[in-house]
Amino acid sequence: TIDSAVKEKIQKYLSGLGCNPSGPTKKLSCISIKNSGRVATCPSGMIVTGCACGYGCGSWNVEGQNTCHCQCSVIDWTTARCCHLE
Amino acid sequence: TIDSAVKEKIQKYLSGLGCNPSGPTKKLSCISIKNSGRVATCPSGMIVTGCACGYGCGSWNVEGQNTCHCQCSVIDWTTARCCHLE
Amino acid sequence: TIDSAVKEKIQKYLSGLGCNPSGPTKKLSCISIKNSGRVATCPSGMIVTGCACGYGCGSWNVEGQNTCHCQCSVIDWTTARCCHLE
């Protein structure tokens, strides 16, 4: 039928466009993960955008995309700020 | 007409795909909001990715997704780093 | 032909929708750029979401979207956390 021919055409064309069947991503979403000690790790699928440390410490680094590591000599807690698109 | 039949077909098919009429999101965009005192709040629709504090303090937490709270005993300013997709 | 007429129709309709031919954006991606001194700059196309500073310092600001500037009087290194969509 003409209907099925048109539908097939649309499907082919859209798949050539790389169009995402589940729809485009909408929003930046973030959570904080707080841990005792000097490391805090984001859940799988989220990525560190910043870290906070106990004892007023502002020296930190990110290990492997999703773990915050606070560097000062004395640290009692570490928080990872973790974001992804949803 | 054949034209209107095809257009209707496309509209039905695309809406079934969850295709976003305003187009896909393109870019991560961030601003800094600086306040005197120990809190700074992002504009509605933006989310905190990190915070900076006066007096060299690196201990902070995020309250309710869009407010930075600096925790050291003496704080003169707080900056929220606020991001969203646009 | 009917095929080329349908294809043209689809192209017109999609372009009216603002549909992105390269497909929707998928993932938040971040890297860390560490520098000696008190500034660190993200690569072009990335934006600062947070900064870390040497000597435990948590006082920083972002200059012009992609540079971290650590503010404490003594600073030996600065790290910019740089993100974009890919």
DSSP characters over C9-50:
HHHHHHHHHT--TT-----EEEEEEEEESSEEEPPTT-EEEE
Nearest residue in chain C measured CA to CA from A19: C23
Give the span between the Cα atoms of C24 and B20, in whole angstroms: 10
User: Do A59 and C59 count as a contact with CB atoms less than 8 A apart?
Assistant: no
Give the span between the Cα atoms of B20 and B14, in whole angstroms: 9
The dotted CATH code for A24-85 is 2.60.40.4230
Please report, as a single letter, which amino acid is at residue C5: A
Q: ipTM > 0.85?
A: no
The token duo for B34 is 């600086």
Q: What integer pLDDT is reported at residue B24 of this predicted model?
A: 54
What distance in Å separates residue A81's CA from the closest CA in chain C?
10
Q: What number is the average pLDDT over the span B41-63?
A: 98
For A5-53, write each residue's pLDDT tens digit. 777 776 666 666 545 444 455 799 999 999 999 999 999 999 999 999 9
Residues of C with CB below 8 A from B53's CB?
A: 58-59
Domain ranges (residues) in chain A: 24-85
Is residue C25 over pLDDT 90?
Answer: no
User: Do A10 and C10 count as a contact with CB atoms less than 8 A apart?
Assistant: yes
The token duo for A82 is 């973790």
The dotted CATH code for C23-85 is 2.60.40.4230
Q: What number is the average pLDDT over the span C28-55?
A: 97
Residues of B with CB below 8 A from C56's CB?
A: 56, 58
User: Do A14 and B18 count as a contact with CB atoms less than 8 A apart?
Assistant: no
**Residue of C23, C58, C81 lying closest to B57 (CB–CB):** C58
Residue to mutate among C30, C42, C57, with most A CBs inside 10 A, is C30
Is residue C76 over pLDDT 80?
Answer: yes
Residue C86's pLDDT band (boundaries 50, 70, 90)? confident
Is residue A73 over pLDDT 70?
Answer: yes
Average pLDDT, whole number, for chain B? 86
The token duo for B61 is 């937490």
